[in-house]
Amino acid sequence: MSDFENLVRQIHDCRKCALSEMRTNAVPGEGSPSADIMFIGEAPGFNEDRDSRPFVGRSGKFLDDMLFSIGLSRPDVYITNVVKCRPPNNRDPLPGEIEECHPYLDAQIEMIAPKVVVMLGKYSFNQFFPGESIGQARGKPRSWNGVTAYPMYHPAAALHNPKLRPVIEEDFRNLLSLIETPEPGPENIDEAPAEQLSFF
């Protein structure tokens, strides 16, 4: 068993917090363990908890469509969430739940070593860059721990507000160029203070 497969098993077997008592399945993630692009959402929802797969509801269909529009599919990328079990009633994860899941996300980023980490939505983005506005940050690559960080609106945002769909489409069109270009230079870097980051 590879280190990555062992990590997936650990997530499936995890009992570190109360979410494990309410879940149907843990949702480690899905895709290539050597992907250049890693997407990070907030938490599994009803469909994800049922199927043990990330982004399989309506927002997942939209994510699939956006990947297809730039010539990619799920096996080409890696998709996961900040927390790996569904919070009850799809509420926001609690700080203690996030803290227990941090080592898993840390390990996923380290093992996959993506060129670009896409933070889907305010909640995911603020785990890396606390207190910043996703509306102001979206679509603007920056450096984070030697990786290109790329904030985007969550796909579900376009389902609630159709006016955001063209914005998300634009950000996806720009995504592939981030793999082909060097890490953002100093003039484009907006580093978060190291003490604010709880990952790595």
User: What is the rounded distance in angstroms from the CA atom of residue 55 to the CA atom of residue 30?
Assistant: 9
Q: Is residue 99 part of a domain?
A: yes
Range 47-52 average pLDDT? 96
Question: Which residues are registered as beta bridge partners of 80?
Answer: 40
Q: Is residue 76 part of a domain?
A: yes
Do residues 148 and 40 make contact, with C-beta atoms less than 8 angstroms apart?
no
pLDDT of amino acid 195: 35
Q: Is residue 72 part of a domain?
A: yes
Cβ atoms within 10 A of the Cβ of 29, count? 24
Whether pTM > 0.95 for this model: the answer is: no
Q: Is residue 191 part of a domain?
A: no
Q: Is residue 37 part of a domain?
A: yes
User: What is the rounded distance in angstroms from the CA atom of residue 39 to the CA atom of residue 120?
Assistant: 7
Beta strand 142-144 with 147-152 is antiparallel
pLDDT of amino acid 181: 57
Residue-range definition of the domain harbouring residue 107? 3-184
The number of domains in the chain is 1
Q: Is residue 104 part of a domain?
A: yes
Share of the chain above pLDDT 90, in %: 84
User: What is the rounded distance in angstroms from the CA atom of residue 14 to the CA atom of residue 107?
Assistant: 15
Confidence of residue 193 (pLDDT cuts 50, 70, 90): very low
Q: Is residue 192 part of a domain?
A: no
Q: What is the CATH number of the domain that holds 157?
A: 3.40.470.10
Q: Is residue 121 part of a domain?
A: yes
